[in-house]
Amino acid sequence: MKIGNLPLLSIALGPDLKTNEARGLARGVIAIGDIAVGVLALGGVAFGGVTIGGLSLGLFSLGGFALGIVALGGLSIGGIAMGGLAVGIRAMGGLAIGYYSNGGLAIGVYPSGGTTVRWP
């Protein structure tokens, strides 16, 4: 089944000897693979709307390194960022850097938490 040009579900794990790819590239509405691109993407590297992966780039991202409008992860960068190191307009984490920041060390215009640094 397809929605537009994308399959509803695409799963690609491991090397593909036919196309000579070292990692599985999944492209679909729901994509699961070493590299996943989709509305819902789950993989080592994930790109799309809702993404979960080691490197996660999307609107709503969850992963080791997460970049998105809402980002949750070890290192998260986004409008709303939560994680070990969080950088964003609204940041929460161990080290939080943002306009509104809350964390163990919070740096921002309106910081709150353990140690705060008001910036500028």
Q: Please list the pLDDT of the chain residue by residue as tens digits (120 residues).
A: 788 788 999 999 988 888 888 898 999 999 999 999 999 999 999 999 999 999 999 999 999 999 999 999 999 999 999 999 999 999 999 999 999 999 999 999 999 999 999 987
pLDDT at 120: 79
E strands present in 8-24: 9-12
Closest of 84, 85, 56 to residue 68, by C-alpha: 56
Domain positions in the chain: 2-118
The model's pTM is 0.88
Check: CB of residue 29 under 8 Å from CB of residue 19: no
Could you tell me which residues come within 8 angstroms of residue 19 by beta carbon, excluding any fewer than 6 positions away? Answer: none
CA torsion, ordered 100, 102, 107, 112, to nearest 10 deg? 90
